[in-house]
Amino acid sequence: MNDAVCRNMRINDRQTLHLAFLLVSRTWLTRRMEENNDQWAIECEETAPSALQTHLTTSLDPSSPHPAHLQHLAAQVAHNLQYQHNWTYIEIHHTSPLSPDTPLPRPLISGLPPSRLYTHSDEQIALLKAGQTAVAEREWVLPSQLREEWSLRRFGEVFDLIGTVPQESSDDEASNPWRTTKRVLLATVDDDSTVVYYIVHDGIVKPRQN
């Protein structure tokens, strides 16, 4: 066998070994990727639920006359008020404060915002003359989904079953003489959990002064 043939055989052997090494390396990498993916899936399954998920899971009231999805909606809005907007004294209501045996159309929320949300125009003038600042008041909050369609009749059903002010004591109703019209804060929840709030009055109110 001449030298040229021997050199070709050695070259072919090296190429074969190189291809075999690449094949083994690829197999090893594939197995490692599969193992990593399996481990990642296990870790994802074992990840603890978020604080909001835990709150929603534990917020169901078995004695409530409302279905679970409406209770979850109210709990989600209450969580947003407390942790995103610093509300305090938050309470979820399932029955009318005017008639405890009458269920509300859906769970409503009451709570105290960190500052006043709405000031009557006449009260605003009186506060300016006195050099005072309006103090925060307890508010009603009506949870809703973005896709829901609201009508005057549906709002009226809610207003008929609530008082002007969410009461903590018998003196709360008369605490602000300027607050004579019922109002709710309509909390609209989007699919991405964003919550937008709108003030809705029961009837016509005097425009605010600039």
pLDDT tens for 18-33 read 555 555 556 655 666 6
Q: Are residues 33 and 82 in the same domain?
A: no
- Inside any domain, residue 207: no
Q: Are residues 78 and 31 in the same domain?
A: no
Question: Could you tell me if residue 110 is left (phi over 0), alpha (psi between -120 and 50 degrees) or otherwise beta?
Answer: beta
Q: Residue 63: which domain range?
A: 51-201
State residue 206's pLDDT score. Answer: 77
Is the pLDDT reported for residue 44 higher than 60? no
Q: Are residues 117 and 188 in the same domain?
A: yes
State residue 172's pLDDT score. Answer: 46
* Residue 37: pLDDT band with limits 50, 70, 90: low
Is the pLDDT reported for residue 5 higher than 80? no
State residue 135's pLDDT score. Answer: 86
Quick one: average pLDDT of 118-122?
Answer: 81
Q: Are residues 76 and 124 in the same domain?
A: yes
Q: Are residues 65 and 31 in the same domain?
A: no
Q: Could you tell me which residue, 204 or 146, shows the higher pLDDT?
A: 146
- Inside any domain, residue 171: yes
Tally of domains in the chain: 2
Q: Are residues 134 and 170 in the same domain?
A: yes
CATH number of residue 97's parent domain: 3.40.1350.10
Q: Are residues 70 and 165 in the same domain?
A: yes
Q: Provide the token pair at 20.
A: 């075999």
- Inside any domain, residue 8: yes
Q: What is the tens place of the pLDDT at every residue in 45-94? A: 556 666 666 666 677 888 899 999 999 999 999 999 999 999 999 999 99
State residue 168's pLDDT score. Answer: 66
